[in-house]
Every structure is written in structure tokens, then in C-alpha cells.
Amino acid sequence: TQLLEQSPQFLSIQEGENLTVYCNSSSVFSSLQWYRQEPGEGPVLLVTVVTGGEVKKLKRLTFQFGDARKDSSLHITAAQPGDTGLYLCAGGMEYGNKLVFGAGTILRVKS
């Protein structure tokens, strides 16, 4: 069974601080997705990375896929209250169309 460990589980920070969320596995993934979910809503796709070592930026968010495609990180610069939510990483399996999800990181940004 492929597992994706996400850390930290909870993060409460002040507006303006930086933070990093990690997803790690002993398995190789064909792709890695990051989602953000607000209470009562479905997860919304932020980014998909498919190449080892790939870095993608989305405004203040920077996503990195590890060289060996076993891990990924999400870095937020100068966090804002609007960044509050549940962040989920998901790894695409080498064969088939399913994803393996991390348990999620609950982020709270206080103003």
C-alpha cells in the first residue's frame, strides 16, 4: 500500500509569516497534486507537478516535487487570513488512475 505522510497536521500562524507543508513517501509517484479545501466545500486543485525536481509558483505559493518523485513541499510566503483552510497533497500512482491522499494540514492564519 502506498502511503503519503503529510506534516504538520495543524498550523496556526500570524499574518505575514512564512510556512512550509511537507508530503513524504517511500513510494514513487507519477505526479503530485496539491488541493485547498474550505469548510463545507470540495477540494480545489492548486497545482499538479509531474517531473522530478519541478518547481511551480502560484503567486505566494511555491510547490516543489522531489527529485526522486517521492516527496513534495508547499511553501507559502507572507501568509494571509485568506490562506486559511485544509491543504491536501495527493500522489498519482504509477499505474492506474487513482490518487493516494495525505491526511491533510489544517492551516489557520490569524490577523
Partner 1 sequence: DVKVTQSSRYLVKRTGEKVFLECVQDMDHENMFWYRQDPGLGLRLIYFSYDVKMKEKGDIPEGYSVSREKKERFSLILESASTNQTSMYLCASSATGNGNTIYFGEGSWLTVV
- Tell me which residues touch partner 1 (CB under 8 A): 30-31, 33, 35, 40-45, 48, 50, 88, 90, 92-93, 97-99, 101-104
Strands 10-14 and 105-110: parallel
| DSSP-assigned beta bridge partners for residue 33 | 48, 90
Of 5 and 15, nearer to partner 1 (C-beta) is 5
The smaller minimum CB distance to partner 1, of residues 33 and 79, is found at 33
Cis? peptide before 8, omega within 30° of 0: yes
* 3-state SS class at 57: strand
Q: Which is nearer to partner 1, 60 or 98 (CB)?
A: 98
Which amino acid, one-letter code, is at 47?
V
How far, in Å, CA of 98 to CA of 111, rounded? 38
In the complex, least distance from residue 49 CB atom to partner 1, rounded to whole angstroms: 8
Shortest distance (Å) from residue 3 CB to partner 1? 11
Nearer to partner 1, 14 or 97 (CB): 97
CB of 15 to partner 1, least distance (A): 26
Q: How far is the CB of 74 from partner 1 (least distance, A)?
A: 16
Residue 88's H or E segment, with its range, is strand 85-92
